[in-house]
Amino acid sequence: MIYVERNDAGEIIALHKSSTNSATEQKQLSDPEVIEFLESNHDAGPIKTLLSATDPGMIRVIDDLVDVLVTKKVIKFTDLPDEAQQKLFNRKKVRSDLNKDTIIMDDEGIL
């Protein structure tokens, strides 16, 4: 979720990662009004910032997707390039090690 800042005419004039005095309304990145604002804004900075904010979640999705594809034998883990195998293996090991030290863990921290 992001927070939108509006002008007196009700148009979005800025997007924020967290609530501010002038931005208390929450919207999804996929909201048509947010997309329209991003498309009309020729400065790529806000778009890159918003995409970067979603990167950790997407990384987890890709990790899980690879696990599902391998488990269902759609692909073999060894079909992936060596560098990809190593990165996925390292992430899985780190996540496993983190889970050993906590009762419940998610990607944001301890629950």
- Output the pLDDT for position 110: 43
- Output the pLDDT for position 17: 86
Which tens digits make up the pLDDT trace of 5-54?
Answer: 999 999 999 888 889 999 999 998 888 898 888 878 656 676 677 777 77
Helix axes 45-71, 82-100, angle to 10 degrees: 90
Residue 103 confidence (pLDDT) above 60: no
- Output the pLDDT for position 98: 78
- Output the pLDDT for position 88: 93
Which tens digits make up the pLDDT trace of 42-96?
Answer: 566 766 777 777 788 888 899 999 999 999 999 999 999 999 999 999 988 888 8
Q: How far is CA 76 from CA 26, 64, 95, in A?
A: 41, 14, 21
The pLDDT-based confidence of 104 (bands split at 50, 70, 90) is low
- Output the pLDDT for position 102: 58
Query: Residue 100 has which token pair?
Result: 């050993």
Task: Give the closest residue to 35 by CA, choosing from 59, 15, 21.
Answer: 15
Task: Give the closest residue to 47 by CA, choosing from 2, 9, 10, 11.
Answer: 2
DSSP 101: T
